[in-house]
């Protein structure tokens, strides 16, 4: 049986702000405001990416990007979807308006939220051996009963690789590369 590597990623978002190109990279080993998601909006308290302090066309909590661990694809979800219809702020993903549900995104996808246009600059897998380059503290994973290692913030009840229940999974420190 082949060894399945942990689902680890590096995702780079790019946008223009004040006439300057900006970017921010997130990894699956970083702690975010909502485990397993990258939240975008005006609220520094609730969001991981706050493109502009003065941008009023963004909601305080506008959208979130997350990895669907069953399909290993990234999606973006509109977080204003639960508001009354007249108060929802749409997001436009690759030309498609998203008011409810989620839309699949890939490298190069465009996400428009109010006046802010984000581009998915890169989605890259990272290996457990590369973790020490993005984190200076021990990084944990969850090992399923069959030995598959998943990110510590995996929220599924069953391993996406073998289907075994994660309730008996063990926490494990992921290997660090030697300097």
What's the mean pLDDT when you consider all of the chain? Answer: 78
Together in a domain, 35 and 85: yes
Q: Are 110 and 117 in contact (CB under 8 A)?
A: yes
| Residue 101's CATH number | 2.60.200.20
Residue position matching structure tokens 């996400």? 111
Q: Are 159 and 150 in contact (CB under 8 A)?
A: yes
Q: What is the pLDDT of residue 126?
A: 73
Give me the domain span that covers residue 43.
9-125
Q: What is the pLDDT of residue 70?
A: 73
- Over residues 97-115, the pLDDT tens digits come to 998 889 999 999 999 998 8
- Over residues 149-171, the pLDDT tens digits come to 776 666 677 776 667 777 766 66
Tell me which of 75 and 2 has the higher pLDDT. 75
Task: Confirm whether 3 is domain-assigned.
Answer: no
Q: What is the pLDDT of residue 111?
A: 96
- Coil, strand or helix: which one is 110? strand
- State how many domains the chain has: 2
Joined tokens for residue 89: 């702020």
Task: Confirm whether 46 is domain-assigned.
Answer: yes
- Domain limit, last residue, from 125, 145, 163: 125
Closest-CA residue to 127 (of 147, 144, 143, 141): 141
Q: CA 155 from chain center: how many Å? A: 13
Structure confidence at residue 177 as a pLDDT band (50, 70, 90)? very low
8-22 as b/e, with b when 16 or more CB fall inside 10 Å? bbbbbbebeeeeeee
Structure confidence at residue 140 as a pLDDT band (50, 70, 90)? low
């Amino acid at each position: 049986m082949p060894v399945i590597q942990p689902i680890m990623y590096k995702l780079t978002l790019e946008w223009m702000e004040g006439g300057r190109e900006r970017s921010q990279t997130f990894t699956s080993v970083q702690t975010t405001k909502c485990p397993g998601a990258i939240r975008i909006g005006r609220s520094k308290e609730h969001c991981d990416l706050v493109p502009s302090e003065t941008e009023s066309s963004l909601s305080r909590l506008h959208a979130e990007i997350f990895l669907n661990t069953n399909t290993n694809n990234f999606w973006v979800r509109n977080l204003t979807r639960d508001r009354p219809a007249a108060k929802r702020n749409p997001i436009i993903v690759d030309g498609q308006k998203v008011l409810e549900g989620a839309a699949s995104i890939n490298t190069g996808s465009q996400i428009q939220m109010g006046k802010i246009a984000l581009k998915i600059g890169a989605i890259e897998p990272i290996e457990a051996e590369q973790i020490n380059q993005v984190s200076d503290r021990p990084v944990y994973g969850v090992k399923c009963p069959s030995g598959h290692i998943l990110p510590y913030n995996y929220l599924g009840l069953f391993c996406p690789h073998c289907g075994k229940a994660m309730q008996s999974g063990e926490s494990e420190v992921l290997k660090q590369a030697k300097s």
